[in-house]
Amino acid sequence: MWDAGPGAPYLSVACGASRAKFISYDDEISCANKVKYAETNGLGGVIVWELGG
């Protein structure tokens, strides 16, 4: 799915009301948008991090 507000993709998995899962991530489009934002606003760069299990 795509959230137009922040411009980011996400996954939502229904496991019952109290155990619903939400996962946000970056894809090619959202990464390009972040780089464009940094360039437009004169920022020195972007940072990439990963949280894996």
- Write the pLDDT tens digit of every residue in 3-50: 888 888 998 888 776 778 888 888 999 999 999 999 999 999 998 888
Q: Is the pTM of this model over 0.75?
A: no
The sign of the CA dihedral 12, 15, 21, 25 is negative
